[in-house]
Amino acid sequence: MSGGAAYTGPSGDLARLSINQETVKQWSLPELAAGCNALGITQVGLWRAPVQSYGVERAARLMRDSGLTVTSLCRGGFFTDAEPGRRAAALDDNRAAIDEAATLGTGTLVLVSGGLPPGDRDIAAARERVADAIATLAPYAADRGVRLAVEALHPMYASDRCVISTLGQALDIAERFPAEQVAVVVDTYHLWWDDLVPAQIVRAGAGGRIASFQVADWVTPLPEGVLLGRGQLGDGCVDLRGFRTQVDATGFDGAVEVEIFSPALWARDGSEVLAEIAERYRRHVL
Amino acid sequence: MSGGAAYTGPSGDLARLSINQETVKQWSLPELAAGCNALGITQVGLWRAPVQSYGVERAARLMRDSGLTVTSLCRGGFFTDAEPGRRAAALDDNRAAIDEAATLGTGTLVLVSGGLPPGDRDIAAARERVADAIATLAPYAADRGVRLAVEALHPMYASDRCVISTLGQALDIAERFPAEQVAVVVDTYHLWWDDLVPAQIVRAGAGGRIASFQVADWVTPLPEGVLLGRGQLGDGCVDLRGFRTQVDATGFDGAVEVEIFSPALWARDGSEVLAEIAERYRRHVL
C-alpha cells in the first residue's frame, strides 16, 4: 500500500484493542489470526502453553504473516517457593519465558508471582522472594528486549496464586528496578474494588511503569475455585471506561487487552464472541 | 463465691475467647449456652435471625442466666441501595438491630455495608451512602449504649455484599464520627492479605476504634459463591498469633471472637467442634 494511507481496516476505532488468546481459547492460533484479521483487530496477547504446542518460532511467523502485533506473553512468575531446587527451576522456566517473548516480538512478559507454599504463613517474606527473583531475571530480560510486568491479582488469589494483590504492592516491587526493565499490569478485574487505585495509576503512569492494560468485568456469583468467573465487558459492575480514562490520562496510549476467562464464552462460536467483544469494547471502554 | 478469687473456670486461658454462634450453627441457643458452660467459655457473638426466632428478650435472659456475655450482634448494614423506599426500610431495620443489641446487653453491632445495587458501577458513591446511613444511625445507637462497628469484608465480596473492603476504608468512615459511636471490626479472614493492615491496626487502636476482633483462617479452594469457605484456626495460611499480637499491642484487651462459616464444621458434633476450637485457639492464637 505504498503511497496510500496506512490501512486501518474497517474498524479504526479498534486500533488499540488487543485480544488475549485465553478469551477465545476454543480457537487455534491460526483461527485466532484469521478471526482478528476478519474484524480488523491487529493485536493479540498470547499464552505460553498454546504457543509452545504450536511451536514458538512458527507462532511468531504466523503472527507476523497475519499482521498481528503480540502485546504481551502470559506468563512468567511463580517465584514464591523457598526450596532451592524448585526455586532454580522456576528461574530457568522464566528465562525460557523471556526467550519465548523475545521470539514472539513482544516487549512484555506478564508475571504472576505465585502464592504461599504449603504451610507458609509469612506473606511478607514471600513477596520478598518475588522481588529477589525479579532482580535475578530483569537484566536477562532487558538484554533480550523484554520488560517484566508485575501483575497484581485480586486478593482472593493471594494464598494460592499471587501474593501481589494491589497495584500499590506491584509498584513497590517494580520501582526497585529501572522502569525500562520492570513495570506493572493494570487489570480492571483484579483492581476495580480498590479505592487507592486511582492514585496508584497516577503513580504508575508518572514512572512510565504501565506495561499492559487489561480489561474484564466483575460478575457474581463466583464459581468454585474463583478462576473462571470473569465477565464479558459491560456485564458486570466495573466502570471500564472510567478505568481506561484514568490510565490514558497518565499518557498511556498502548493496547487495551481484553482478557476474559469464561467457560460461557469458550462454549460459543469464536467469531461471534470476538464480534461481541468488539461491540462491547466500543460501548463500554472507548 | 464472695470472699474467694473470681472463678475463671477450668480454662482461664480461654478468658478472652468468644464463640460466634454461626460457627456452631447446628446448635440451638440453649445448646450453645450449655456447650460454652461445659468448656468454661464465657462469651458469645450472636446473630439476629436465630435470636429473633428464639425471642430477643428470652435470648437475653438465657445468656444472662448462663453467665454468658454477648460480645457482638451480627449484623446491621446493607445501606447501599439508593432507592428511597428501600433505603428507609434499611434504616428502620437497623434501628431494630440496635434495639436488639441493647436488649442483649452487647455494646457492639457489626455492620456489613452492602454491595452495589444492580447496574450500579459507582462504588465510591455507594461507600458515601454507607457513611450517610451511619450518620443517621450513630446517635440512635449511642443513646441505647450500642456502638456501630464497620466491618471490612474481603474484596471478593465488594460487589454483592460489602463495598467496604479494607481496614483503611472502614476507618475512613468510622473516623468521621466520635469513637464512642462508630468503630471497626478487625477480622483476620477478610484482612490477612493486605500489607497495609499493620499500620491500619495501629491507627485503629490509637483512635480507640477496635470494637471487635474476629478470627478465622483462610483456606482454598474457595467454594462456589465464596461465602462458606472459612477455615478452622490453624488449617490455613493466616498468621493468627501475629494478628492477635498486633491488635493487643494497641492496648486492645477485648474478646477474640471465633467466626467460621464452614459446612464441614456444621456437619460435626457441636461439642467436638467447640473443643477443637478451644485447642486450636490455644495453639494458634494465644
DSSP letter (8 states) at residue B223: P
DSSP strand pairing (A230-231 vs A256-258)? unpaired
Q: What is the DSSP string of A241-270?
A: HHHHHHHHHTT--S-EEE----HHHHTS-H
The strand ranges marked E within B128-266 are 147-151, 182-187, 210-215, 217-218, 230-231, 256-258
pLDDT at B59: 98
- Strand-pair category, B230-231 with B256-258: unpaired
Extract the runs of DSSP E, i.e. beta strands, from chain A: 17-20, 43-47, 69-77, 108-112, 147-151, 182-187, 210-215, 217-218, 230-231, 256-258
C-alpha span between B257 and B210 (Å, rounded)? 13
Q: Is the pLDDT of residue A143 over 80?
A: yes
Mean pLDDT of chain B: 95
pLDDT (0 to 100) of residue B11: 52
Q: B157-216 pLDDT, tens per residue? A: 999 999 999 999 999 999 999 999 999 999 999 999 999 999 999 999 999 999 999 999
Of B127, B218, B239, which is closest to A159 when you measure between CB atoms?
B218
A217 is written with which cell numbers? Answer: 468485568
Q: What percent of chain B has pLDDT over 90?
A: 96
Q: Which residue has the cell 437497623?
A: B94
Q: What percent of chain A has pLDDT over 70?
A: 96
* Longest Cα–Cα distance in chain A: 64
Q: Helix crossing, B123-143 with B84-104: angle to 10°?
A: 40
Of B123, B196, B239, the CB nearest to A121: B239
| pLDDT the model gives residue B182 | 98
- Judging contacts by C-beta atoms under 8 Å, the chain A residues touching residue B168 are 196
Task: Please check whether residue A285 is in contact with residue A234, taking contact to mean a CB–CB distance below 8 angstroms.
Answer: no
Closest partner CB to A156 (pick from B121, B195, B222): B222
Question: Residue B22's pLDDT is what?
Answer: 98
Which residues does chain A have within 8 Å of residue B193's beta carbon, measured at their own beta carbons? 123, 155, 158-159, 165
Angle, CA of B222, B196 and B131, to the nearest 5°: 85
Helix (H) or strand (E) holding A84: helix A84-104
What average pLDDT does chain A have? 95
User: In angstroms, rounded to a whole number, what is the distance separating the alpha carbons of residues A43 and A247?
Assistant: 19
Using alpha carbons only, give the angle A222, A225, A229 rounded to the nearest 5 degrees. 35
Q: Rounded to whole angstroms, how far apart are CA atoms A198 and B260?
A: 34
Answer positive or negative: Cα dihedral of A14, A153, A70, A253.
Answer: positive
Q: What is the mean pLDDT of residues A152-181?
A: 98
Q: Do B224 and A220 touch (CB under 8 A)?
A: no
A92-129 pLDDT, tens digit each: 999 999 999 999 999 999 999 999 999 999 999 999 99
Q: Which of A155, A224, A236 sits opposite B154 (nearest CB)?
A: A155
Instruction: Give me the total of CB pairs closer than 8 Å, taking one residue from chain A and one from chain B.
Output: 92
A-facing residues of B in 12-51 (CB < 8 A) are none
Find residues 60-79 of chain A whose CB sits inside 8 Å of chain B: none
Q: What is the pLDDT of residue A25?
A: 97
pLDDT of residue A6: 44
Predicted confidence band at B84 (pLDDT cuts at 50, 70, 90)? very high
Chain A residues in contact with B158 (beta carbon < 8 A): 192-193
Distance, in Å, from the CA atom of A138 to the CA atom of A142, rounded to the nearest integer, reads 6
Show the 3-state SS of B115-136: CCCCCCCCHHHHHHHHHHHHHH
Would you state the cell numbers that stand for residue B94, as one nine-digit string? 437497623
Mean pLDDT throughout B35-50? 98
Q: Which residue among A160, A223, A237 places its CB closest to the CB of B121?
A: A237
Question: Bridge partners of B149?
Answer: B110, B183
The 10s digit of each residue's pLDDT in A57-74 is 999 999 999 999 999 999
Residues of B numbered 254-283 whose beta carbons fall under 8 angstroms of chain A's beta carbons: which are they? none
A9, pLDDT greater than 70: no
Handedness of CA A211, A107, A256, A50 (dihedral sign): negative
Residue B267 has pLDDT above 50, yes or no: yes
Question: What number of other Cβ atoms are within 10 A of residue B58's Cβ?
Answer: 11
Q: Confidence class of residue A1 from pLDDT cuts 50, 70 and 90?
A: very low
Which residue in this structure is represented by grid cell 458513591? B125
Residue A210 · residue A204 · CB < 8 Å: yes
Reply yes or no on whether the pLDDT at B127 is more than 50.
Answer: yes
Q: What does the pLDDT read at residue B6?
A: 44
Q: What is the pLDDT of residue B10?
A: 46
Distance CA A257, CA A239 (A): 16
What is the predicted pLDDT for the residue at B8?
46
Q: Domains in chain A and their CATH numbers?
A: 12-284 (3.20.20.150)
* Percent of the residues in chain B that have a pLDDT greater than 70, as a whole number: 96
Closest-CA residue to B165 (of B196, B119, B199): B196
How many other C-beta atoms can be found within 10 angstroms of the C-beta atom of residue A31? 13
Name the residue of chain A whose CA is nearest to B119's CA: A237
How many of the other CB atoms lie within 10 Å of CB of A143?
A: 11
- Express each pLDDT in B4-28 by its tens digit: 344 444 457 999 999 999 999 999 9
Does A165 contact B120 at a Cβ distance shorter than 8 Å?
no
The pLDDT value recorded for residue A65 is 98
A236 interface with B at CB cutoff 8 Å: yes
